[in-house]
Amino acid sequence: MAVRWLAEIGADDIETVGGKGASLGELTSAGLPVPPAFIVTAGTYREFIENAGIADEIHEAVDVDVEDSKALARAQERASELILETPFPEELREEILEAYAEFEDGPFVAVRSSATAEDLPDASFAGQQETFLNVDREGLLERVRECWASLFTQRAIYYRKQQGFDAEEVNIAVVVQRMVDAEKSGVMFTSHPSTGDPRIIVEAAWGLGEAVVSGSVSPDNYVLDRETGRVAEETIATKKLMCVRDEESGETIEREVPEGKRTERVLDDGELAELIELGERVESHYDAPQDVEWAIAGGETYMLQSRPITTISGGDIEEADSSQMEGIADGNGQGQSGAFADRDEGDEPDEGEELVHGLGSSPGTVSGTARIVTKLDQLDKVEEGDIIITQMTTPDMVPAMKRAAGIVTDEGGMTSHAAIVSRELGVPAVVGTGNATATIEDGQHITIDGERGSVEAGAVTSDEGGEGPAEHEPIEDVRPETPVKPMTATEVKVNVSIPEAAERAAATGADGVGLLRLEHMVLSLGKTPSKYVADNGEKAYVDEIVQGIRTVADEFYPRPVRVRTLDAPTDEFRQLEGGEDEPHEHNPMLGYRGIRRSLDRPDVFEHELRAFRRLYEMGYDNVEIMFPLVNDANDVEAARRLMEEAGIDLEKRSWGVMIETPASALSIEGMAKAGIDFASFGTNDLTQYTLAVDRNNEHVADRFDELHPAVLELIGSTIETCREHGVKTSICGQAGSKPKMVQFLVNTGVSSISANIDAVRDVQHEAKRVEQKLLLDSIR
């Protein structure tokens, strides 16, 4: 049997159907209503390669020195080629298509890789494998084969070799699941997310769940008492929009809700009773409160997904099965006390004395052993719980930053690499101290306060007077926990710079990603794009971009993810292999970066655009494209032409620009006419260029004021013009996390605000408060 249906599968079948297949099977066997799916088993893949006589060739192809990047690239290419170019045996073709035919009406399906046991330990690795949405009969077999081929990405080959997995044992199953055309859908918490009270909270809207998950409509809200089964509270919202699936393309599109249904209650008592029952069953099956996505289609209630409730707290993040995130969650706790275990070794003369002072750029207080890092090859010495002291962090340092309990830099401001990445990782940081690398000694025990910006000698003393390491307070723990996120008309999104932070970002409940910076992904390849392509081929480069974006797009789907094309200054590129060819610039901030570089090198830019096209082909219709550092309509028109040449259908996609220069703010009308869908304020740059204050120069950091009237004037007039032209507006600079900026923007009519991970919840509350005040003022 090449395929197996969910009903025949249990949790023990992981070897045959992979992790994803087994968990869907487990829910189905527990009697929970999961949309039907069949699995092309792992054995089928194995038979396919063995019967075709390509198994040995594949294993030989991937048996390379994985430290040799050229050999690794060739390995991927050869293994994929062998799989993709081997025809399906007739019998197998028929068996898969016959299984598909059992869905009866030829529906769209999702085709997802489901890795077997060997691949499970590292979720980030499992996430490397392919998933395709909205696949029809015609595309099905090809997509299955592409899932198989995705076993052999460079990262996967590398990882397996490192972990000592026998390549001959590696298998992959593929889940083919019917996509549900919901009439109503939403989410449900089976218990109160923060108190655990026996109350079920349901949010519901018309159409597909995307509308609720993405926050594009205010759904009805029902609070149900589990003990009595009664509705304890309900709020019926006005639902203007709904998401439906386009019959032709299978893509999700927005439609207006017919007038008569807008204020109608979405769920009747019978449906609510069914959801209560479903909630009870799924919670008792897992013995833990669940966050469930559900849908009702043709009178049936389906469970699309269930996971343990993750309110935004350190403990919950540990629960999520990403080993990388675990590192983040306990890097501040376990590791830190580990560092203290050997505190006697160090010499700590002036306990409590301030050694250096800088900008508190990622909150939290932590103690640990200082590790001075001056060259990349010293990163190995940073152990779990150490505090990195360096001139300025670089993308290569991210793995060490994840291990660290804290970060201190000589250089940089609130929008520097160190500040951005440490905030995303939830690691306390102090930047721009001027002289930390010279003042602090390697091995010295220190305490940093990422709020006040202080770095002190020794361990902090607790309030009770007892001595000991200060517990680092994960920022999430001090956030108010509310059962349902505050519903705001202004969308509240989140910024992401490193794909590893995607899960933490999604746990905030943000309405999407307002800025995904591509440069952190690209710079972490260690080579300039041209060098990387020369060494590894274009496909490998495009694959890297696709994989990085997918990690985030998957985590947020169907919520939108706004990806910004590359924007790295030449001084950052110069540190990479191939960087010797970078021009020497007097002031890189004013130089060859952003869209001006992309337009000057369309041959390099094309690779990025190809990655976008591939993502769209794979069904990631939640990805949006944003161009950095544009000045005027000429820039926009040139970028638009290149997108069209790359085969991106602009009618279907959302694309726009960042407003980062006064010129762009003053040229907004022309850009609106050139067809942009949105404009997003990059206040880090807009402030630097308006006030002539280098954002990374600690000597003028006190003059960096995003709320300066000149900056606000540019923002305000841009919003006004955009509103006249139907262009959405947003902010994705650091200032979007500041309450004063939120107040200004909501009052001025911005469409969305994208904040740092740790600020999302506060921004939601602030936006709601301002919106309510506006409403009150209008009726008083």
The β-bridge partners of 396 are none
Nearer to ligand PEP, 123 or 568 (CB): 568
Q: Which two tokens stand for residue 287?
A: 């013995």
Q: Is beta strand 172-178 parallel, antiparallel or unpaired with respect to 199-206?
A: unpaired
Q: How far apart (Å, rounded) are the C-alpha atoms in residues 290 and 307?
A: 5
Q: Which of residues 265-294 bind Mg ion (CB under 5 A)?
A: none
Sign of CA dihedral 729, 732, 735, 738: positive
- Of the candidates 192, 417, 445, 472, the residue annotated as catalytic is 417
Q: How far apart (Å, rounded) are the C-alpha atoms in residues 440 and 347?
A: 12
Q: Which of residues 387-426 bind ligand PEP (CB under 6 A)?
A: 415
- Of the candidates 147, 243, 722, 732, the residue annotated as catalytic is 732
Min dist CB 515 to Mg ion, Å, is 9
Min dist CB 658 to ligand PEP, Å, is 7
From the list 38-46, 99-107, 141-149, 678-686, the region that binds ligand PEP by CB under 6 A is 678-686
From the list 186-194, 309-317, 342-350, 678-686, the region that binds Mg ion by CB under 5 A is 678-686
Per the CB < 8 A criterion, the answer to whether 611 and 545 are in contact is yes
Which of Mg ion, ligand PEP, none does residue 754 bind to, with CB < 5 to 8 Å depending on kind? Answer: none
Sign of CA dihedral 684, 685, 691, 695: positive
Is 417 tagged catalytic?
yes
Nearer to Mg ion, 134 or 497 (CB): 497
**By CB under 5 A, residue 682 contacts Mg ion:** yes
Nearer to Mg ion, 13 or 706 (CB): 706
Min dist CB 589 to Mg ion, Å, is 10
CA dihedral angle for residue 725, residue 728, residue 732, residue 736, rounded to 10 degrees: 100
**By CB under 5 A, residue 572 contacts Mg ion:** no
User: For the chain, percent helix, then strand, then coil, each to nearest 5?
Assistant: 45, 20, 35
Which of ligand PEP, Mg ion, none does residue 134 bind to, with CB < 5 to 8 Å depending on kind? Answer: none
Q: Which residues contact 219 (CB under 8 A, 6 or more apart)?
A: 186, 203, 204, 205, 211, 212, 237, 239, 266
Nearer to ligand PEP, 329 or 397 (CB): 397
Cα–Cα–Cα angle for 252, 255, 259, nearest 5°?
150
Amino acid in position 444: Q
Of the candidates 659, 652, 656, 653, the one whose C-alpha atom is nearest the C-alpha of residue 677 is 656
Of the candidates 625, 323, 311, 632, the one whose C-alpha atom is nearest the C-alpha of residue 476 is 311
Nearer to ligand PEP, 317 or 515 (CB): 515
**By CB under 5 A, residue 635 contacts Mg ion:** no
Min dist CB 462 to ligand PEP, Å, is 37
From the list 247-255, 326-334, 374-382, 679-687, the region that binds ligand PEP by CB under 6 A is 679-687
Q: Which residues contact 174 (CB under 8 A, 6 or more apart)?
A: 39, 40, 45, 111, 112, 113, 114, 144, 147, 148
The β-bridge partners of 147 are none
Which of Mg ion, ligand PEP, none does residue 698 bind to, with CB < 5 to 8 Å depending on kind? Answer: none
How big is the site for ligand PEP, counted in residues (CB under 6 A)? 11
Q: How far apart (Å, rounded) are the C-alpha atoms in residues 740 and 413?
A: 20
Of the candidates 672, 532, 504, 556, the one whose C-alpha atom is nearest the C-alpha of residue 611 is 532
Min dist CB 530 to ligand PEP, Å, is 21
How big is the site for Mg ion, counted in residues (CB under 5 A)? 3
Nearer to Mg ion, 660 or 706 (CB): 660
Which of Mg ion, ligand PEP, none does residue 732 bind to, with CB < 5 to 8 Å depending on kind? Answer: ligand PEP
Per the CB < 8 A criterion, the answer to whether 446 and 440 are in contact is yes
Out of 608, 660, 698, 758, the only residue in the binding site for ligand PEP (CB under 6 A) is: 660
From the list 48-56, 340-348, 489-497, 677-685, the region that binds Mg ion by CB under 5 A is 677-685
- What φ, ψ does residue 43 adopt, rounded to 5°? -60, -35
Min dist CB 415 to ligand PEP, Å, is 5
Q: How far apart (Å, rounded) are the C-alpha atoms in residues 214 and 420?
A: 25
Q: How far apart (Å, rounded) are the C-alpha atoms in residues 734 and 514?
A: 12
DSSP of 364-432, one letter per residue? -EEEEEEEEE-SGGGGGG--TT-EEEESS--GGGHHHHHH-SEEEESS--TTSHHHHHHHHHT--EEE-
Out of 203, 543, 635, 685, the only residue in the binding site for Mg ion (CB under 5 A) is: 685
Which of ligand PEP, Mg ion, none does residue 386 bind to, with CB < 5 to 8 Å depending on kind? Answer: none
Per the CB < 8 A criterion, the answer to whether 52 and 190 are in contact is no
Nearer to Mg ion, 365 or 495 (CB): 495
Min dist CB 734 to Mg ion, Å, is 10
Nearer to ligand PEP, 69 or 684 (CB): 684
Nearer to ligand PEP, 578 or 682 (CB): 682
Binding mask 682-701 for ligand PEP (x = CB under 6 A): xxxx----------------
Min dist CB 727 to ligand PEP, Å, is 18
Q: Which two tokens stand for residue 254?
A: 């927005």
Cα–Cα–Cα angle for 359, 694, 758, nearest 5°?
40
Q: Is beta strand 172-178 parallel, antiparallel or unpaired with respect to 37-40?
A: antiparallel
Per the CB < 8 A criterion, the answer to whether 177 and 23 are in contact is no
Min dist CB 695 to ligand PEP, Å, is 8
Q: Which of residues 513-532 bind ligand PEP (CB under 6 A)?
A: 515, 517
Min dist CB 594 to Mg ion, Å, is 7
Nearer to ligand PEP, 20 or 517 (CB): 517
Q: Which of residues 733-772 bind ligand PEP (CB under 6 A)?
A: 733
Of the candidates 712, 709, 691, 686, the one whose C-alpha atom is nearest the C-alpha of residue 701 is 691
Q: How far apart (Å, rounded) are the C-alpha atoms in residues 251 and 686?
A: 36
Q: Is beta strand 655-659 parallel, antiparallel or unpaired with respect to 678-681?
A: parallel
Q: Which of residues 566-595 bind ligand PEP (CB under 6 A)?
A: 567
Nearer to Mg ion, 555 or 660 (CB): 660
Q: Which of residues 496-515 bind ligand PEP (CB under 6 A)?
A: 515
From the list 91-99, 292-300, 595-603, 680-688, the region that binds ligand PEP by CB under 6 A is 680-688
Binding mask 719-738 for ligand PEP (x = CB under 6 A): -------------xx-----
- In the chain, the N- to C-terminal Cα span, in Å, equals 70
Is 285 tagged catalytic?
no
Min dist CB 748 to ligand PEP, Å, is 17
Nearer to ligand PEP, 191 or 598 (CB): 598
Min dist CB 252 to Mg ion, Å, is 30
Which of Mg ion, ligand PEP, none does residue 683 bind to, with CB < 5 to 8 Å depending on kind? Answer: ligand PEP
Q: Is beta strand 561-564 parallel, antiparallel or unpaired with respect to 623-627?
A: parallel
Q: How far apart (Å, rounded) are the C-alpha atoms in residues 275 and 190?
A: 9
From the list 390-398, 426-434, 538-546, 679-687, the region that binds Mg ion by CB under 5 A is 679-687
Which of ligand PEP, Mg ion, none does residue 515 bind to, with CB < 5 to 8 Å depending on kind? Answer: ligand PEP
Strand order in the sheet with 354-357: 354-357, 454-457, 445-449, 365-373, 387-390, 406-409, 429-431, 359-362
Of the candidates 697, 669, 688, the one whose C-alpha atom is nearest the C-alpha of residue 735 is 688
Min dist CB 125 to ligand PEP, Å, is 28
Please give the residue ranges that form the binding site for ligand PEP (CB under 6 A): 415, 515, 517, 567, 660, 682-685, 732-733
Write out the catalytic residue numbers.
417, 732
Please give the residue ranges that form the binding site for Mg ion (CB under 5 A): 660, 682, 685
